[in-house]
Amino acid sequence: MNPGSLHGDVARARRTLRRARVRSVVTRVAGALAGACLVAGCATVPVARTPALDPMQRFAEVTAALYRKARVPPIVIAAGVNGEGARWDGARIYVDERFVRSPHLLALVAHELGHFVLGHAGPAPVTPEMELQATAASVEILVRVLRLSEAAAVHLVYAHLLAAHDGGQPVLPGHRPPCEEIASLLRRFPAQRAWTGRLRCATTPPGAEASLPVR
């Protein structure tokens, strides 16, 4: 892998998304949800629209089109996503307001779009295997929708999972620990084995994460 071209790929995709000029549906959806929550109560409370998420909405629109989905999931900024950064509830993608400017936003949204294209229902409990499938699908989406190279897409998702490991993030509901998710991710893209085989967490067996050092 050429690290220069990899970073060029990712930077180009991010510039493309920033330039996207789309009419976001976030404001309308957030307003409707806020009203519904007043009546029914919601664990996740939508807050005001942030233009910074418009590129992610455009990402969702193009994903839905390429995967021939009948609808586009609104991307909604929310408070209280419980440390997950982003969440799929079967209809919408919630992005925690604290993660809107995170360097891992693209990987977070791509993972939730993975649940979307795979047809995972949510918000019912998602199994660890479904989470691994969504993470693998996020790589495929980054390649197909944003035209990243597979190496760049794998690296983007890997960096996100490794940050979760190094940050000591608690294991999220329905997930395996981040290092084990990394090992699963890398196994699913054998064409990248020449460089991914040496990465941290690459060979973590199930149940071994607790004994691994963090940076």
Stretches 13-21, 55-63, 123-131, 206-214: which one binds Zn ion (CB under 5 A)? 123-131
In whole angstroms, the minimum distance from the beta carbon of 115 to Zn ion comes to 5
Strand partners, 88: 93
The interaxial angle of helices 178-187 and 128-146, nearest 10 deg, is: 60
In whole angstroms, the minimum distance from the beta carbon of 170 to Zn ion comes to 15
Q: Which is nearer to Zn ion, 46 or 85 (CB)?
A: 85
What dihedral do alpha carbons 69, 72, 75, 81 form, nearest 10°?
Answer: -50
Q: Which is nearer to Zn ion, 134 or 185 (CB)?
A: 134
HSE of 69, CA atoms in CB hemisphere, 13 A: 19
Distance, CA of 195 to CA of 183 (rounded, Å): 13
Q: Which is nearer to Zn ion, 49 or 160 (CB)?
A: 160
Stretches 23-31, 99-107, 131-139, 177-185: which one binds Zn ion (CB under 5 A)? 131-139
In whole angstroms, the minimum distance from the beta carbon of 125 to Zn ion comes to 11
Q: Which is nearer to Zn ion, 133 or 204 (CB)?
A: 133
What string of DSSP letters covers 183-205? HHHHHT-GGGHHHHTTSTTTTPP
Enumerate binding residues for Zn ion (CB under 5 A): 131, 134
